[in-house]
Homo-oligomer: A and B are copies of this chain.
Amino acid sequence: MKIPLTELRVKVLKTFTDKGFSEHDANRIADVLLWADMCGTTTMGVVKLIGIEPIQNEKADAQIKVVRDTKLSQLIDSDHAPAPLACQLATDVVIQKAKDHGIGIVGVNNYWCSSAALGYYVDRIAHEDFIGISLSRGGGAMVPFGSADRLFGTNPIAFAFPTNDEPIIFDIATSITTLSGLTLAKNRGQKLPEGFAIDKDGNPTTDPAEALDGAMFPFDHGHKGSGLGLVAEIMAGPLVDSAYCDFQNQKDYGQLFIAIDPELLVDTATFKEQCSDMVRIMKNARKQKGVDEIRLPGERARAAYTQAEASGEVDVEETVLRELGYIS
């Protein structure tokens, strides 16, 4: 259902300030959640305030600490702050490192909730004319290729590239859907498609509740998607001193941010111009039969965002708003 953006922001802020968060911190978190909802990504916005890891339940008085700092890098211990707050800070830092030295690489660990939309952070990086990359790992939700144990999280990967218009944003879960996707399906009383998930005993299931106790497959059902999940499990796990492979060590989530200045290799103005040209070429290509429009990564989300911004309203699942007490 449609809800005015200002009203949604006020309610999200109250959710956090009621838990002891400052207005400033609540706003930084709300920025991420509202962005995701405005993009029409129903599995990444305020839905993160319900389900199995509600973001507002993290520590309001966390002492976020810098564990390691070099010219190019920083490792941040979140001290169980909400992930979006720690990740906003990490994004500030990675942008500054790239401004100062051409590349920044920043890791975040020690939190136990979703950072919501990776696309938000890489979009911020790309708006500074840098290439933004982010990878995340989380609690067991996906099986590696051949495994019946859920050793990987939904392990999203995101890239953003600056253009002369808005950045190109590619933001995917390496799993076939997200945990929020499963939660939504459960709340709606929907079945999953065949071949999405297994139950905790490794048997195929179409029941989202059983899938939440069990595991999802990689997005391609194959070794390539699984391998990408592993890349995220390493680069947002051991590389940021976070946990890995779920069952053995449920320490926490982890996230890695990389910002690369194209100027290290080419002229940024030309790079952006050519990225814009690629968008034009792809949009104007011959279409496969039955295809109305060729859509680029992030294009549908961008259109939804623009429309939400223009209308001042955003579409959010009624069940989510009700569970949050935002509507009665």
**Which A residues lie at the B interface, using CB under 8 A?**
68, 70-73, 75, 101-103, 105, 107, 131, 143-149, 151, 159, 161, 168, 170, 172, 198, 202, 219-220, 222-228, 230-231, 233-235, 237-241, 244-245, 248, 260, 262, 264-266, 270-271, 274-275, 277-278, 281-282, 285-289, 291, 293-297
Q: How far is the CB of A166 from chain B (nearest CB, A)?
A: 15
Known: A105-B103, A234-B161, A288-B143. A75 touches B148 (CB 8 A): no
Asked if B151 contacts A281 (CB within 8 A), the reply is: yes
Residues of B within 8 A of A228 (CB): 170, 228
A147: which B residues are within 8 A, CB to CB? Answer: 282, 285-288, 294
What residue in chain B is nearest A105 (Cβ atoms)?
B264
Across the interface, which residues of B come within 8 angstroms of A226, CB to CB?
A: 297
- Listed from nearest, the 7 A-B pairs whose CB atoms lie closest are A73-B264, A220-B220, A238-B274, A148-B286, A149-B285, A147-B285, A146-B294
Q: Please give me the residue from chain B that is nearest to A225 by CB atom.
A: B220
Q: Which residue of B lies closest to A282 (CB)?
A: B144
**Whole-angstrom distance between the Cβ of A200 and the nearest chain B Cβ:** 10
A238 touches which of B101, B240, B271 (Cβ 8 Å): B271
- Please state if A266 and B239 are interface contacts (CB–CB under 8 Å): yes
